[in-house]
Amino acid sequence: MRRNKSRTARFARVRDRKRIGILTGGGDCPGLNAAIRAIAKTAILNYNMEVIGIKDGFLGLIENKFLPISYENVSGILALGGTFLGASNKANPFRHPDYKGSFKDVSNRAIENYHAMKLDALICIGGDGTLNIAYKLHKKGVKLIGVPKTIDNDLRQTEATIGFDSALITATQAIDKLHTTAQSHHRVMVIEVMGRYAGWLALYSGLAGGGDIILLPEIPYDIKKVCDVVLKRNQHGKRFSIVVVSEGSRQKDGAMVVRKMIKDSTDPVRLGGIGNKIADDIEKITGLETRVTVLGHLQRGGEPSPFDRILATRFGVESCELAANGDFGKVVVLKSNQIKTVDLKKAVGDIKRVSLKDPVIKAAMAVGTSFGI
């Protein structure tokens, strides 16, 4: 009897402390562990909070799977890629698959588990899909804060997202390496990068890597214009060309190339294959040998860049402070190198796309880069 009372007393004393949960949703990227570390260390060292890690994104919230996070758990993970909590780009409490293959709303179950975990706040680290789900949960009463991460850099309220800089470095290094083999064999090299419906990764890596042609979802291309650039370079002694293609690029009056559909995903469309299409078209029209490289998930892997480690740390610290102060329904963002906050409602919905008026586009055009128009 005494033992039971002692356990209850110890639990009561712990429950006098605030308890926050951390969740990493959507696809993985470098910098997630750095953000988890920053949130947990700030909570433990500065606010004497308990920290709970939700396993595998929103799936852990749906299935009540979590683990306690101690200071020791997050020591030494700053430079590790991925997320030690796991992630899922399929789990959605508002559209969860059942055994019959249909979908149902299990958000009330997720909210019940949030309360069963005795959480005072939940910090969701993710991209547009994750933050959309977070906003819906917040409207249903969950005390929630968002942290933006995506290699696509397409969240409209922030200048940078966790993971973008690391993916940019990977893509740029790949373009640099392909330059040498393109020159050696006098080939046209097509490099397909990620980005979904926004061309930031292709634009920045293409410019940084010296791409001769950069194709973006926001600027439908004319394949004849692309081939004209390749032929003109060849005629002037440049017997190779580098074409950097965002996976969401499309030809004028054409559609994006869809590799497959994943029906139980929050975003069922899986883009891919545009690089092969463009390479085939270039080779048929110009007669020049053309090769394609699809970088794929290489862009999601590996250690985070110094910029992403710092950004993740700043985002993590600020999100923890918001939780400690009871300031919920917010997303931490980067504006003019300052960490700010905006309402979740403003951060979700339309994504941030590349504009023809963007200064990076203007700089690329000024040095002779073609966008296939």
CB count in 10 Å sphere of residue 291: 16
Q: With beta carbons less than 8 A apart as the criterion, state whether 314 and 149 touch.
A: no
Strands (E), 218-289: 241-246, 258-261, 269-271
How far is 54 from 49, CA to CA, in rounded Å? 16
| Residue 97, strand partner residues | 103
Tokens encoding 213: 């042609």
Whose tokens are 């020159």? That residue is 183
Catalytic option among 152, 165, 212, 308? 152
The 3-state DSSP class for residue 30 equals: coil
Strands (E), the chain: 19-24, 50-54, 66-69, 96-97, 103-104, 121-126, 144-148, 188-193, 213-215, 241-246, 258-261, 269-271, 290-294, 330-335, 338-343
Please confirm, yes or no, whether 152 is among the known catalytic residues: yes
End-to-end CA distance of the chain: 79
Whose tokens are 């570390």? That residue is 37
How far is 346 from 364, CA to CA, in rounded Å? 31
Active-site positions read: 152
